Amino acid sequence: MSEFSRTLSSGTLRVTPTGGMRQLDELFELAERRNPKRAFLFVSKVLGRHIPVAPGIMRSVYRQLAEQFPTLEAGPVLFIGMAETAVGLGAGVFDELRHQAAEPVYLTSTRHPVPGELLCEFKENHSHATDHLIYLPDDAELRRRVLNARTLVLIDDEATTGNTFINLLDALQSAGLTQFSQVIAVTLTDWSGDALAQRCALPIATVSLVQGDWHWEPNPDAPVPVMPEVNVTATGSVPITGRQSWGRLGMATPAADLGTHMTFQPGEKILVLGTSEFVWEPFLLAERLEKAGAEVKYSSTTRSPIATGFAIQSAIAFTDNYGLGIPNFVYNVAHQQFDRILLCAETPAASIDTALLDALRQVAPRVEVISYE
C-alpha cells in the first residue's frame, strides 16, 4: 500500500498506511473544508454521501466491515451511528450483523430534536456542527435493549483522534449506561492509532477497511476559511412527517417501506438522493431498484461546507428542508447526467427548496420528490 499525499491551498496532508484490506485511493479522496477548525476532509468514495455510489458497492462495504467483527458477547448489543455522515453506514453495518446478535438495537445521534426522551448529548469538537443528541427508543423492548446493552458498537466514517467516540462513551456512561463489557469502534478509515485503546477503560476492538497515520503541514499564508452558519441543533419550522423507524428513535429491523410503488424502464439511469440524516430508507429504495435492473447511483444532501476542487467536482447550494434556514449542499451531481432523480425526504414535498429542484432539473429531465405523505 502506497502513501497518499495531497497539497491543498491550506496545507499538505500525507497519509501513510499501516494496514488494511484496500488501497487508500480506492476508498477516499481529499477536499478542503470551509471550516477554520480543520482544513481538510477525507471524502469517501464508498459512503454515498458526497460522491454518488452504486448501492451494491455500499452494501459490499457494510459486509466487509461486518466480517471483521469479533464475537459478540451475550446480551443486548447497542449500535450507534454518527449524524449526519455515518447514519447510513451505521444502519448498513447493523443490517449485516443484526442476525448475529440475540438482542440488537440501532440508534443514531441526531441534530434534529424530535418528541421523545433524551438519553444524552455529546460534542464532535472539530465538526461543522458540534452538538449531537441521542434519544431513547419509544418502543419498550428497544428501550430495554439500550438500557441493558452489554456490547456497544460505535460507527463513524473515519477516526482521526478518537475524540468523538470517547466523548460519546463518556456521555452514555454519565447517562447511566455503565454496564458495557465490550466496545467496538467501526470506521471506514482509521487514522487514530492506539488512541482509543489508551483512553478507553473498557476492552475495545477497532474495525476498519484501512488504517494509517496522517501528518498535516499547514500553509501559514493560507487565508482562514469562512464557514457558513450550519452549527445548528434545533427543531425547524417544518414538521418531520416521515416515520422514525430507521434509527433516531431506535430500529430493530429495517422497514424498507419508502417508494415501494416505484417502477423504472430497463437500463434507466437513476440517482437516488437522501436528505440530511434521512438516508437509510432511501438507500434501501436505491438498492431495490438496482437489484431489479436499473442503473442506480446513491448520494445525499449534506450540511457539510466543502470547497470545490480535488474530490468535489461540482456543488449545488440551497436551503435546508427542515425550516432551519441553514445552507445545504449536494456534491458531485451537477456535472453529471441522469434519466431520473428521486429526492427522498422525511419532510413534506413542499419543504424542498426550489433552487435545489431547479438545479437537479439541469441534471435529469425527471425529478421526483419521494416522501411518506
If phi over 0 gives left and psi between -120 and 50 gives alpha, with beta otherwise, what is residue 131? beta
What DSSP element (H or E) covers 199? helix 195-199
Q: Record the pTM.
A: 0.95
* Distance separating alpha carbons of residues 27 and 38, to the nearest angstrom: 20
pLDDT value of residue 126: 52
Give whole-number Cα distances, 225 to 10, 307, 308, in Å: 9, 10, 13
**Per-residue cell: 308:** 470545490
User: What is the pLDDT, as a whole number, of residue 202?
Assistant: 85
Cell 449536494, residue located: 330
Dihedrals φ, ψ of 102, to 5°?
-70, -35
Q: Give the per-residue pLDDT at 127.
A: 58
Per 3-state DSSP, the chain is made up of helix, strand and coil in percentages (nearest 5) of: 20, 30, 50
Question: What are the mean pLDDT values of the chain's consecutive 10-residue runs (373 residues total)?
Answer: 87 92 89 83 95 98 97 96 96 97 96 94 69 94 98 94 88 94 95 85 92 90 82 89 94 96 92 98 97 97 93 97 96 98 97 98 98 88
Cα distance between residue 53 and residue 56, in whole Å? 8
What is residue 330's predicted lDDT score, i.e. its pLDDT? 98
- The helix or strand, by DSSP H or E, that contains position 13, with its residue range, turns out to be strand 11-20
pLDDT recorded at residue 128? 56
Retrieve residue 22's grid coordinates: 484496500
